[in-house]
Structure 1
Amino acid sequence: MSDDLLLDVRDLVVRYGPVTAVDGVSFSLASGETLALNGPSGCGKSSTALAVLQLRRPDAGHVRFEGRELTDLSDRELRPLRPRLQPVFQDPYGTLSPRHRIRDAIAEPLKVQGRWHPADGPARVAELLDRVGLDPAYGDRRPHELSGGQCQRAGIARALASGPRLLVLDEPVSSLDPSVRAGVLNLLADLQDDLGLGYLFICHDRAVVRHFADRVVEMREGRVTSG
């Protein structure tokens, strides 16, 4: 594990009307490390993840990514940082548009970021599919033509296309069969070793957390109880 501090969250608060979903949560994460947020449904894990990603702006607290305070930035100022801070969500079919072929979904971040070149772009997409253990021929398929595990691998490939340093993994294997789950977790471990990625791993399953995470932050009712 690298000693480089990648993410530092301090006194995070997220409210939905009168309900405080996240109440003073603090933790830090280094490059190459997996930090798990563990706790029952409704404890504030996913709201914390959305606030880290700035997809839900926190009501108070600090989120520093690579030393930069994200909560002070406008949406326009956040845009160039978003490729380095990528989500992988629970529902792989909901992540990918049913209208687009897998290759187009993976190419989209490259095009949005101005990194798509017709001469080598298709080869880059094929490389990403191969990296996540999918035959590049799967790029011609649409999400409904893939299994859940294959679709989640395609979602991971799409996240990798941006060249991230941090993946926010929100229950990425909870909808998968146990045998498929193990394969996806092994893939994530291999990618972390190869690329030095940091993982914020949101999961309610303690057995999975114990197997996969370097450190665990336990949450209950919006607060950190240990970790």
Structure 2
Amino acid sequence: MSHASTAPTALLDVRDLVVRYGPVTAVDGVSFTVAAGETVGLYGPSGCGKSSTAHAVLRLRRPQSGRIWFDGTELTSLSERRLRPLRPRLQPVFQDPYGSLSPRRRIRDQLAEPLRVHGLRAPAAVPGRVAELLGLVGLEPSCGDRFPHELSGGQCQRAGIARALACEPRLIVLDEPVSALDPSLRAGIVNLLLDLQQDLGLGYLFICHDPVLVRHFCDRVLTMRGGRVSTGGWQSG
């Protein structure tokens, strides 16, 4: 990959990323791209730097060095105020479906919140959009009236995906989105994500430690070890 200073054409372009926690370097010079409609996997064992990379891409953690371009805009130097308009287009889905949702709020209210916060719908249109989001992820309308603990793990993860979709993103960072689920539920979530990508043209950065799953789900896979991307990744097909 060229590391010239010219603006990238990929939806996401990560160049020479470094993330440290005190004296520990969790991510050491990682570079990759994700195109619109493409799924790129970051594969490797626990502690290899996958989630730290994801958090830096989402700007949940500011990297020590390197550059991150999203949709033509460099994120690494932006203040939180200037990041705010971009955040709806770059959304996460986390590993723990229950921990990523508020236990004290009904699902419908959690789906409505990003619509109101980012002004994506007029107030009168919010309930209709919430119903649409529930349908997109295969949840019955009655699920909107429930709290997270009243849903199964698979239903709760679908609600988390719906919340990410509420902002009409271009890229979703999927951080081990099925590893906390019962094996019988994983295929349904994976198939849902594939269908959504096909219908909406989403780009995915997929964090995973399961080699079988990344081979099935990803267009390209980068293998991480010790904070670095090795040359031993693979490409599907």
TM over 0.5: yes
Please give the secondary structure, in 2, of the residue aligned with 1:124. Answer: helix
AA aligned opposite 2:172: L
Deviation of residue 184 (structure 1)?
Answer: 0.2
Matched, 1:223 2:235: no
TM-score by length of structure 2 reads 0.93
What per-residue deviation string (whole Å, max 9, x for no partner) do you get for residues 188-214 of structure 1?
A: 000000000000000000011011000
Matched, 1:93 2:98: yes
Deviation of residue 117 (structure 1)?
Answer: 2.8
Paired with 1:142 and 1:156, the residues of 2 have a C-alpha distance of 16
Identity %: 75
**Alignment correspondent of 1:34:** 39
Deviation of residue 115 (structure 1)?
Answer: 2.6
Please give the secondary structure, in 1, of the residue aligned with 2:99. Answer: helix
**Structure 1 gap ranges (5+):** none
**Alignment correspondent of 1:163:** 168
Deviation of residue 116 (structure 1)?
Answer: 3.7
**Alignment correspondent of 1:143:** 148
1:212 to 208, 217, 231: 217
Judge conservation of contact 1:10–1:62 (CA < 8 Å) in 2.
yes
Paired with 1:213 and 1:136, the residues of 2 have a C-alpha distance of 31
Paired with 2:22 and 2:150, the residues of 1 have a C-alpha distance of 40
Judge conservation of contact 1:33–1:197 (CA < 8 Å) in 2.
yes
Deviation of residue 42 (structure 1)?
Answer: 0.1
Judge conservation of contact 2:120–2:167 (CA < 8 Å) in 1.
no
AA aligned opposite 2:228: R
Q: How does 1:85-124 map to 2 (within 5 A)?
A: 85-124=90-129
Paired with 1:217 and 1:49, the residues of 2 have a C-alpha distance of 13
Judge conservation of contact 1:127–1:136 (CA < 8 Å) in 2.
no
Judge conservation of contact 1:106–1:125 (CA < 8 Å) in 2.
yes
- Count of aligned positions: 224
Paired with 1:107 and 1:116, the residues of 2 have a C-alpha distance of 9
Paired with 1:219 and 1:47, the residues of 2 have a C-alpha distance of 11
**Alignment correspondent of 1:83:** 88
Paired with 1:139 and 1:117, the residues of 2 have a C-alpha distance of 19
**Alignment correspondent of 1:181:** 186
Deviation of residue 72 (structure 1)?
Answer: 1.1
Deviation of residue 137 (structure 1)?
Answer: 1.1
AA aligned opposite 1:105: Q
**Structure 2 gap ranges (5+):** 1-8
Please give the secondary structure, in 2, of the residue aligned with 1:40. Answer: coil
Deviation of residue 120 (structure 1)?
Answer: 2.0
Judge conservation of contact 1:62–1:69 (CA < 8 Å) in 2.
yes
